[in-house]
C-alpha cells in the first residue's frame, strides 16, 4: 500500500511537472530566449589630453540590440543562462560616433510565479567587445524587470524595461567612455 | 495703445446682454466735444461699430444734433487747432518765445519754416486729421479738433499722436501740443510710421505703459500712428574682429600706422561731443601689470562636465558621477563636485569640495588646512531677444525694467578694453543694462558685464583665464574711470555727484531728461588662473540675453568640506531699487540684477567651478568647466 501511495505521489508530481511544462515554460531544463531591444540614454566621455587637463563631455545616445540567451531553469522560478549579443551605440550629436559591440554575458532571471503570465526581474553582467580594427572592450551590466506571457504551447513572449550600462575602454588616455540608459526589450522564449 | 484700449473696452461692452440707449450718460447738449462716462463711451462705441458706415452720419446727428464731429467736418471750415499751429498764431509765437533757448534750429523739412509755399502743395491739418484717423466710428465721436472727454480726461487726437490730460489741465495740453507742432511736420505720419516724433524741447518721462509718455509732468502722450511693430529689436550679429579692432583699439592695432581708423583724437577731450568722449578715453588707456598667479591653483586639473536636460538629466542624476579628483598622494586627495540633480520634482544645483583620506573600503572626509570653493563665472541665458541701445541716448526713453544690450558696435563703444600682457588681444565685454527707478531718479543701470565676449583674432581660441580675468578687472576699472570722467553735467539729478553713489553714474542724455547709468563693481576677482573660456557660443549671432555672475570664492579653514548650494537654477528675483543693497553674496550674486520679467525663464548656461584644498602645506585644485546641454 505504502509503495502504491508513493508511486501515486510520484505520478502526481510527474503529472504536475508535465502539466507545468506545457503551460508555464519554466520547468527545469533548457530554454532559449531571443530579444531585440532599444536603449535610450547618455554617452559620457573623458580623455586626458595633458597631465593637467581632461576633455570630453556628455551627449544623448541610443542603442539597438539583438541578443540570444541559452540556459536552464534551475528551479521553476530561477533561470541561469549565457548570452551573446550584438549592440550598436550611436551618439545623438553625431551619427559618425558609434560603437558596434559583440557582447558575452551571463543572465540570471527570477520569475515571481510559476504561471503562464508572470512578472520577472533580470540581471546581466559581462563584457562588450568592440568590432573594430582598434580592438577595445569593457564591462557591461543590465538590470530590469518585465512580464512573461504565453503565446503558444511551448513558447512565451517577454517584454522588459531596465537599466543598461556599457563601458568601453582600451586606451590609457581615455578615462571614461560609457553608455548608460533605459532599455526596452521584447523577446521570444522557447 | 489707445485703440487697443478702445477695442478692449468694446469687447467688454459687447458682452452685456442689453445695450444702453446710444446717448445715455452723454452730455447731449455738448457742442464742442462729447463728454461722457467710460461706460457710456464703451456702449456708444460698440453700438456704433455695429452700424453700417453709411448710417453713421444720421445716427450721430440724430443723437447729438448740435455736435459737429470730425467725420462730418466740412472742408471749408478750418478747425481752431489748425489755426493755432500757424506760425503767426498767438499760441505758436508764445511757445516759440518760451522755448527759444532749448529748441534746435528747425529744418525746412521739419515744419512750417516756409508756411505759405508749403500750404499750396501740402494737405491742410484738418485734411490730415480726416485722413489719418482711419476708424470712422471713432472719428465720428471726435469733434473737429480731434477731442473727446471721457470721465474727467480730455483726449486730443492729433497727427502726431494722442495727448490726454485732466480736463482742468487743458491749457497745458495745448502748450505741449504746440511745442510738438513746432518741431514736427503734421504730415509726417502720412508717409513715415517709424520715425519717433521729435520732443527735444519737452520733458519726457516713461510710464508704466511701454508706449505712453508723460510730457512736462502733466500731459500724457501716445504715438497712435507709429507702427507698433517698428522698430524691431535688432538681432545682434557681431562684426568680425578685423572690423572692430581698428575701431576700438586704433592705437593698439595699427600703432599709429595703417589699418586703424586714422582718426587723431583731439588733445582736449572736452572739445569732443559727449557721445565720443568714451572712445577717446578708451583709446588712450594703458593697462597695468598682470598680477602673479595664486599658488592655490598652481597644481590644477581641468575637467569638462556637460549636464543634459530632460530625461537625460534624470539618468545623469542617478547613474553618473560628476565628482572629479586631484590626488596629493595615494592616500590623500581632494574632490570637487558640481551637482546638477534632477529628481523629477525638484532640481538642485551646487558645489562640493572635499579633502579625503583613503579608508579600508572607501575614501573618508578629513580635515584640510584650507579649502576654497567658488566659481570663475556662471553664465545665465534668457530666451528673449534684447534691444540695443546706444549711450548716451536721447532718441527714446527706455521702459522701466526693460533690458538693453548696450550697443558695442556703434560709437561710443562701451566695450571694456582687455588685453593680455605683451600681446595684441583685442577683447571686450558687452554690457547689458536695465532701466529702473531708484528713488526719484530714473537710472539706467549696467549691472555686470553681460555677454562674455573675449575676442581673439583666431577662431574659437580659449583665452587663458589668467589673462582673461586680469583683463576684466583692469578693463572694468578703466571703464568706470572713463565713464566717470566723461560724464556731462548732471542736469536735475538729485545727487549729481558720481561719488555719492556706490557706483559711477552717467547721464543718458544732456537735454534735461534725467537718466543715469550706474556701474556695479565686479567684486572678489580672479581665482584659479588656469584654463580658458571659449568664445564660440557668444558669437553665433545669438541675441539672447546673457548675464555673467562675477567670480566668487569662499574660503574656510580646518574643515573637511565646503558645500555651496546654488539656488538660482530657476531664479525668482525681485529687483532691488536700492543701490546700496545690490547683493553680491554667494547665491544672490545674480539675484538682484535681473528683472521679474526675465527671472522665470532665466537658466544657467555654462560656467567654471573652482575648488582648491591645502593639505600638508600642499595645494591641489580642480576646475570644472560645465555646460548645460540640450
Write out pLDDT tens, residues B123-156. 888 888 888 887 777 888 888 888 988 888 899 9
Q: What is the mean pLDDT of residues B521-544?
A: 35
Least confident of A35-44, B113-122, B296-305, B337-346: B113-122
Q: Determine, for residues A57 and B316 on separate chains, whether the beta-carbon distance falls below 8 Å.
A: no
Alpha-carbon dihedral of residues B308, B314, B320, B324, nearest 10 degrees? 60
A158: distance to nearest CA of chain B, Å?
24
Rounded Cα–Cα distance for residues B128 and B189 (Å): 9
**Cis before B231 (ω within 30):** yes
> Which of A60, A144, A180, A181 best tests the B interface by mutation, with the highest count of B CBs <10 A?
A60
Rounded Cα–Cα distance for residues B396 and B470 (Å): 36
* Secondary structure letter of residue B568 according to DSSP: -
Q: Which residue of A54, A180, A182 is in closest CB contact with B304? A: A54
- A56 contacts in chain B (CB < 8 Å): 304
A156: distance to nearest CA of chain B, Å?
31
- A163 contacts in chain B (CB < 8 Å): 319
Please report which confidence band the pLDDT of residue A27 belongs to, taking 50, 70 and 90 as the band edges.
confident
Least confident of A99-108, B88-97, B223-232, B396-405: B396-405
Higher pLDDT, B592 or B346: B346
- Residue A160 — φ and ψ, nearest 5°? -145, 155
> Which pLDDT score is estimated for B483?
52
pLDDT surpasses 70 at B484: no
A52: distance to nearest CA of chain B, Å?
4
Residue numbers of A between 159 and 188 with CB closer than 8 Å to B: 163, 165, 180-182
Contact B627/A at CB under 8 A: yes
Q: For residue range A142-154, list pLDDT tens digits in order.
A: 999 999 998 888 8
Burial of A40: CB neighbours in 10 Å, binned 0-12, 13-18, 19+: middle
> Which pLDDT score is estimated for A178?
92
- A144 contacts in chain B (CB < 8 Å): none
Q: Which residues contact B105 (CB under 8 A, 6 or more apart)?
A: none
Q: Which residue of A55, A58, A182 is in closest CB contact with B308? A: A58
Residue numbers of B between 518 and 537 with CB closer than 8 Å to A: 530-531
Rounded Cα–Cα distance for residues B500 and B505 (Å): 9
Alpha helices, DSSP H, located in B100-240: 115-121, 125-132, 136-141, 170-183, 188-191
Alpha-carbon dihedral of residues B116, B198, B206, B391, nearest 10 degrees? -170
> Which pLDDT score is estimated for A67?
96
* Secondary structure letter of residue B4 according to DSSP: H
> Which pLDDT score is estimated for B437?
52
A178: distance to nearest CA of chain B, Å?
10
> Which pLDDT score is estimated for A83?
95
Integer CA distances (angstroms), B221 to A31, B1, B578, in order: 85, 10, 29
- B320 contacts in chain A (CB < 8 Å): 42, 44, 58, 180
Tell me: ipTM over 0.95: no
> Which pLDDT score is estimated for A170?
75
Q: What is the mean pLDDT of residues A129-134?
A: 84
| pTM exceeds 0.90 for this model | no
E strand or H helix at B12: helix B2-14
pLDDT surpasses 50 at B327: yes
Q: Which three cell numbers stand for residue B92?
A: 505758436
Q: Are B625 and A49 in contact (CB under 8 A)?
A: no
Please report which confidence band the pLDDT of residue A137 belongs to, taking 50, 70 and 90 as the band edges.
confident
Q: Are A167 and A145 in contact (CB under 8 A)?
A: no
Rounded Cα–Cα distance for residues B53 and B69 (Å): 14
Residue B271 C-alpha from the chain's centroid: 29
Q: Determine, for residues A59 and B320 on separate chains, whether the beta-carbon distance falls below 8 Å.
A: no
> Which of A40, A45, A52, A55 best tests the B interface by mutation, with the highest count of B CBs <10 A?
A52
A–B interface: beta-carbon pairs under 8 A: 53
Domain ranges of chain A: 2-189
pLDDT surpasses 60 at B26: no
Other beta carbons less than 10 A from residue B28's beta carbon: 14
B530: distance to nearest CA of chain A, Å?
10
Q: What is the mean pLDDT of residues B522-547?
A: 37
Higher pLDDT, B13 or B339: B339
Q: Determine, for residues B319 and A40 on separate chains, whether the beta-carbon distance falls below 8 Å.
A: no
> Which pLDDT score is estimated for B336?
94
Q: What is the mean pLDDT of residues B150-163?
A: 89
Contact A94/B at CB under 8 A: no
Residue numbers of A between 45 and 64 with CB closer than 8 Å to B: 46, 52-60
Rounded Cα–Cα distance for residues B349 and B590 (Å): 15
Q: Determine, for residues B306 and A57 on separate chains, whether the beta-carbon distance falls below 8 Å.
A: yes
Q: Which three cell numbers stand for residue B321?
A: 558621477
A61: distance to nearest CA of chain B, Å?
9
B620: distance to nearest CA of chain A, Å?
11
Higher pLDDT, B562 or B514: B562
Q: What is the mean pLDDT of residues A43-52?
A: 89
**Cis before B412 (ω within 30):** yes
Q: C-alpha angle with apex B429: B292 to B467, nearest 5 degrees?
A: 20
> Which of A58, A92, A144, A175 best tests the B interface by mutation, with the highest count of B CBs <10 A?
A58
Q: Which residue of B304, B312, B320 is in closest CB contact with A60? A: B312
A142: distance to nearest CA of chain B, Å?
13
Number of continuous H segments (helices) and E segments (strands) in chain B: 16, 26
Contact B315/A at CB under 8 A: yes
Mean pLDDT over the full length of chain B: 62
Nearest chain A alpha carbon to B327: A52
Higher pLDDT, B220 or A37: A37
Domain ranges of chain B: 2-222, 241-290+387-542
- B315 contacts in chain A (CB < 8 Å): 41-42, 180-182
**Cell 531677444 belongs to residue:** B385
> Which pLDDT score is estimated for B550?
55
Q: Which three cell numbers stand for residue B120?
A: 499750396
Q: For residue range B568-615, list pLDDT tens digits in order.
A: 433 333 333 333 333 333 333 333 334 444 444 556 777 788 899 999
Other beta carbons less than 10 A from residue B113's beta carbon: 13
- Residue A22 — φ and ψ, nearest 5°? -80, -25
Q: Determine, for residues B300 and A52 on separate chains, whether the beta-carbon distance falls below 8 Å.
A: yes
Least confident of A33-42, A83-92, A96-105, B352-361: A96-105
Q: What is the mean pLDDT of residues A161-170?
A: 91
> Which pLDDT score is estimated for B308?
82
* CB-based contacts of B173-178 (< 8 A; 24+ apart in sequence): B173/B219, B174/B84, B174/B91, B175/B91, B175/B95, B175/B216, B176/B202, B176/B215, B176/B216, B176/B218, B176/B219, B176/B221, B177/B81, B178/B84, B178/B85, B178/B91, B178/B92, B178/B95
| Residue among B625, B608, B566 at smallest CA distance from B305 | B625
Q: What is the mean pLDDT of residues A104-116?
A: 93
Burial of B86: CB neighbours in 10 Å, binned 0-12, 13-18, 19+: middle
Q: For residue range B183-229, list pLDDT tens digits in order.
A: 888 888 877 777 778 776 677 666 656 567 778 778 888 888 877 55
> Which pLDDT score is estimated for B126?
86
pLDDT surpasses 50 at B278: no
Rounded Cα–Cα distance for residues B543 and B234 (Å): 8
Higher pLDDT, A4 or B130: B130
A3: distance to nearest CA of chain B, Å?
59
E-state strands within B403-551: 403-406, 431-438, 441-449, 463-464, 505-507, 515-519, 532-533, 544-549
pLDDT surpasses 90 at B619: yes
> Which of B310, B311, B621 best tests the A interface by mutation, with the highest count of A CBs <10 A?
B311
Contact B144/A at CB under 8 A: no
Higher pLDDT, A172 or B162: B162
Q: Determine, for residues B312 and A163 on separate chains, whether the beta-carbon distance falls below 8 Å.
A: no
Q: C-alpha angle with apex B132: B129 to B138, nearest 5 degrees?
A: 80
Q: Which three cell numbers stand for residue B124?
A: 491742410
CA end-to-end span of chain B, whole Å? 39
Domain A2-189 falls under CATH 3.40.50.2300: no
Alpha-carbon dihedral of residues B12, B14, B18, B24, nearest 10 degrees? 70
Q: Determine, for residues B316 and A40 on separate chains, whether the beta-carbon distance falls below 8 Å.
A: no
- B303 contacts in chain A (CB < 8 Å): 46, 54
Amino acid at each position: 500500500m505504502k509503495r502504491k501511495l508513493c508511486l501515486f505521489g510520484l505520478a502526481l508530481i510527474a503529472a504536475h511537472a508535465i502539466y507545468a511544462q506545457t503551460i508555464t515554460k519554466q520547468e527545469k531544463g533548457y530554454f532559449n530566449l531571443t530579444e531585440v531591444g532599444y536603449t535610450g540614454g547618455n554617452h559620457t566621455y573623458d580623455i586626458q589630453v595633458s597631465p593637467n587637463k581632461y576633455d570630453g563631455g556628455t551627449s544623448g545616445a541610443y542603442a539597438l540590440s539583438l541578443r540570444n540567451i541559452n540556459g536552464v531553469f534551475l528551479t521553476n522560478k530561477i533561470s541561469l543562462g549565457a548570452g551573446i549579443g550584438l549592440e550598436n551605440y550611436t551618439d545623438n550629436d553625431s551619427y559618425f560616433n558609434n560603437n558596434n559591440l559583440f557582447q558575452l554575458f551571463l543572465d540570471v532571471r527570477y520569475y515571481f510565479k510559476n504561471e503562464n503570465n508572470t512578472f520577472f526581474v533580470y540581471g546581466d553582467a559581462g563584457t562588450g567587445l568592440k568590432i573594430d580594427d582598434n580592438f577595445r572592450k569593457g564591462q557591461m551590466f543590465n538590470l530590469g524587470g518585465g512580464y512573461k506571457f504565453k503565446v503558444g504551447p511551448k513558447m512565451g513572449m517577454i517584454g522588459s524595461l531596465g537599466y543598461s550600462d556599457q563601458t568601453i575602454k582600451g586606451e590609457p588616455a581615455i578615462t571614461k567612455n560609457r553608455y548608460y540608459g533605459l532599455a526596452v526589450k521584447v523577446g521570444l522564449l522557447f | 495703445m489707445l485703440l487697443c484700449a478702445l477695442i478692449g473696452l468694446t469687447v467688454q461692452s459687447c458682452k452685456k446682454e442689453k445695450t444702453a440707449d446710444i446717448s445715455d450718460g452723454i452730455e447731449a447738449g455738448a457742442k464742442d466735444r462729447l463728454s461722457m462716462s467710460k461706460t457710456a463711451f464703451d456702449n456708444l462705441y460698440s453700438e456704433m461699430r455695429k452700424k453700417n458706415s453709411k448710417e453713421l452720419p444720421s445716427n450721430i446727428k440724430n443723437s447729438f444734433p448740435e455736435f459737429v464731429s470730425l467725420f462730418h467736418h466740412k472742408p471749408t471750415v478750418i478747425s481752431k487747432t489748425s489755426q493755432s499751429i500757424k506760425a503767426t498764431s498767438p499760441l505758436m509765437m508764445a511757445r516759440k518765445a518760451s522755448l527759444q533757448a532749448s529748441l534746435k534750429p528747425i529744418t525746412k523739412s521739419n515744419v512750417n519754416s516756409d508756411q505759405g509755399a508749403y500750404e499750396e502743395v501740402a494737405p491742410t491739418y484738418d485734411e490730415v486729421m480726416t485722413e489719418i484717423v482711419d476708424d470712422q466710428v471713432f472719428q465720428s465721436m471726435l469733434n473737429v479738433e480731434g477731442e473727446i472727454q471721457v470721465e474727467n480726461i480730455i483726449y486730443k487726437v492729433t497727427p502726431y499722436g494722442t495727448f490726454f490730460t485732466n480736463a482742468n489741465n487743458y491749457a497745458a495740453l495745448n502748450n505741449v501740443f504746440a511745442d510738438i507742432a513746432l518741431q514736427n511736420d503734421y504730415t509726417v505720419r502720412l508717409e513715415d510710421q517709424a520715425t519717433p516724433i521729435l520732443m527735444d524741447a519737452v520733458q519726457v518721462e516713461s510710464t508704466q505703459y511701454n508706449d505712453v509718455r508723460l510730457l512736462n509732468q502733466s500731459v500724457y502722450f501716445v504715438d497712435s500712428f507709429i507702427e507698433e511693430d517698428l522698430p524691431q529689436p535688432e538681432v545682434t550679429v557681431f562684426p568680425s574682429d578685423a572690423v572692430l579692432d581698428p575701431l576700438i583699439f586704433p592705437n593698439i592695432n595699427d600703432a599709429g600706422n595703417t589699418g586703424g581708423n586714422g582718426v587723431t583724437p583731439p588733445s582736449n577731450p572736452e572739445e569732443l561731443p559727449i557721445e565720443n568722449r568714451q572712445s577717446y578715453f578708451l583709446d588712450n588707456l594703458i593697462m597695468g601689470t598682470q598680477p602673479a598667479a595664486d599658488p592655490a591653483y598652481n597644481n590644477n586639473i581641468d575637467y569638462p562636465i556637460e549636464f543634459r536636460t530632460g530625461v537625460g538629466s534624470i539618468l545623469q542624476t542617478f547613474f553618473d558621477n560628476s565628482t572629479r579628483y586631484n590626488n596629493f598622494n595615494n592616500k590623500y586627495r581632494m574632490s570637487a563636485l558640481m551637482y546638477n540633480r534632477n529628481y523629477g520634482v525638484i532640481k538642485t544645483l551646487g558645489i562640493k569640495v572635499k579633502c579625503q583620506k583613503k579608508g579600508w573600503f572607501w575614501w573618508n572626509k578629513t580635515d584640510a588646512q584650507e579649502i576654497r570653493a567658488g566659481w570663475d563665472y556662471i553664465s545665465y541665458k534668457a530666451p528673449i531677444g534684447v534691444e540695443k541701445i546706444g549711450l548716451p541716448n536721447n532718441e527714446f526713453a527706455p521702459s522701466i525694467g526693460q533690458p538693453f544690450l548696450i550697443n558695442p558696435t556703434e560709437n561710443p563703444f562701451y566695450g571694456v578694453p582687455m588685453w593680455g600682457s605683451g600681446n595684441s588681444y583685442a577683447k571686450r565685454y558687452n554690457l547689458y543694462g536695465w532701466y529702473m527707478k531708484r528713488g526719484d531718479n530714473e537710472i539706467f543701470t549696467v549691472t555686470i558685464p553681460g555677454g562674455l565676449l573675449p575676442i581673439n583674432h583666431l577662431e574659437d581660441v580659449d583665452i587663458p583665464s589668467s589673462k582673461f580675468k586680469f583683463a576684466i578687472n583692469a578693463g572694468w576699472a578703466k571703464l568706470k574711470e572713463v565713464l566717470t570722467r566723461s560724464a556731462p553735467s548732471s542736469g536735475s539729478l538729485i545727487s549729481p555727484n558720481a561719488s555719492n553713489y556706490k557706483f559711477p553714474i552717467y547721464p543718458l542724455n544732456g537735454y534735461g531728461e534725467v537718466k543715469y547709468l550706474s556701474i556695479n563693481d565686479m567684486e572678489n576677482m580672479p581665482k584659479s588662473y588656469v584654463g580658458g573660456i571659449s568664445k564660440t557660443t557668444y558669437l553665433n549671432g545669438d541675441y539672447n540675453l546673457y548675464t555673467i555672475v562675477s567670480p566668487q570664492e569662499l574660503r574656510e579653514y580646518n574643515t573637511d568640506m565646503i558645500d555651496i548650494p546654488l539656488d538660482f537654477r530657476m531664479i525668482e528675483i525681485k529687483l532691488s531699487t536700492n543701490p546700496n543693497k545690490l547683493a553680491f553674496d554667494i547665491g544672490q550674486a545674480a539675484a538682484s540684477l535681473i528683472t521679474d520679467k526675465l527671472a522665470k525663464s532665466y537658466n544657467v548656461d555654462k560656467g567654471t567651478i573652482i575648488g582648491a584644498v591645502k593639505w600638508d602645506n600642499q595645494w591641489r585644485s580642480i576646475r570644472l568647466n560645465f555646460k548645460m546641454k540640450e
